[in-house]
Each structure stands twice: as C-alpha cells, then as structure tokens.
Amino acid sequence: MSNIGRDQSLAADFFDTLYQADPDPWRFETSEYEAAKYAATIAALPKPRYRSAFEIGGSIGVLTEQLAQRCDALLSVDISALAQERAIQRCKHLPQVRFELMNVPHEYPKESFDLVLLSEVGYYWCQADLHSAQQRIYESLEPGGHLLLVHWLHDAPSYPLRGDDVHNAFQDFAAVSQLKSVSSQRTADYRLDLYERP
C-alpha cells in the first residue's frame, strides 16, 4: 500500500488491497448499522426525484442501488475497479445508472448535477484534495441542487482526515460561498449534512 500519510490522499491501491482481501470490507451488504444509515441518507433527500445525480465513491453499489430509485440518471464513480465491478453487477437491472472509474477530485465529470452524494469518502482525501473537491462539487451543482455529506465520526489513524474535519470544512466553505445548509444530523457514530446551492 502507498500514500499512507496525512498529507496525501489514499490511492487506488489502498482500496484495491482491501477489496482483494474481502469483497465487502465494510459489510455494506449485511450490517444493520449501514442499513440504518443508508435509510437515513435516502430519507434526508428533500426532493422526491433527481434529474441527474453524482455519487462519489460508490464502492460495491449497495447505496447506489437504493439511491437510483430516486434518480432519472445517476453517475456513480469509484477509484477502485474491483469495487466497481461488483457495483455494475448489482445495478445491471437499473438502466439509469452509469459507472465510471474516477479519482476525484483529480478527475471530475464535465456535466452538472442536481444532487451530489459524498458518503464515507471525504476522509480519504488530504486537505488540499478536500479543498479542490469542494470547489469542483460546488461548480458542478445546478441552482437548487443538493449536496449530501455522510461520514463516520471515529478516528481511523490510517485516514488523512476525520469525518468532522470533512463536515467542518464544508461548513467553512458554505460561509464563503453560496452553499446553504438545509439540514444536519449527528448520531454517536456518523454525521449527515445536506446543503443546497441557491
């Protein structure tokens, strides 16, 4: 594995190694905690449907499959081909879902979105990549578009940032941009923030 260090984002080989050892390293398919968090994530979406959504770090597609029910089109990207292969299989009955391998924010789609979902990904970025991602996400959001952030709050020493670092950075970004906080939830384990670009 490379790129372990707080000044660099975690690279594809970090995730590929995890997925090689275990196809579902975070128990997305079976954990009651994840199922409840996914339900809260979907319930936090203010609109019944989204025209064009962007999911960053879709992993093996468990949340992707649920999110797709609310989207006319959904682009799901991940840095790990191994993870994305399982997501493609899981979502093959959903023609509105498109997959691309992408290292965000170094790569980013050219299109615009009315929903961007960043669930359990931001703490893998270093500060510089987080700042760059904030700008790219903001620029890709249509007027009235939503940004949903969900992150685990506990310390993971191998991750460059913590969940609170990610959410606090977006709070700071909102103060100097047009992003408007719409709703916020905090449990003992995760934090969820919904923003709108007016």
Among 53, 75, 77, 149, binds ligand SAM (CB under 6 A): 77
Smaller CB distance to ligand SAM: residue 160 or 178?
Answer: 160
Q: Which stretch binds ligand SAM (CB under 6 A): 42-50, 118-126, 169-177, 185-193?
A: 118-126
Give the Cβ contact number of residue 48 at 10 Å.
6
**Rounded CA separation 63/78 (Å):** 13
State how far the Cα of 115 lies from the Cα of 32, in Å rounded to an integer. 26
Residue 154 or residue 198: which is nearer to ligand SAM going by CB?
A: 154
Closest-CA residue to 28 (of 57, 50, 61): 61
Size, binding site for ligand SAM by CB under 6 A: 21
| Residue 85: closest CA among 20, 8, 40, 32 | 20
CA–CA distance, 18 with 38 (Å, rounded to integer): 22
Candidates 13, 17, 26, 162: give the one binding ligand SAM (CB under 6 A): 26
Q: Which is nearer to ligand SAM, 28 or 173 (CB)?
A: 28
Using CB under 6 A as the criterion, which residues of the chain lie in contact with ligand SAM when the complex forms?
Answer: 9, 15, 26, 28, 56-59, 63, 77-80, 83, 102-104, 119-121, 124
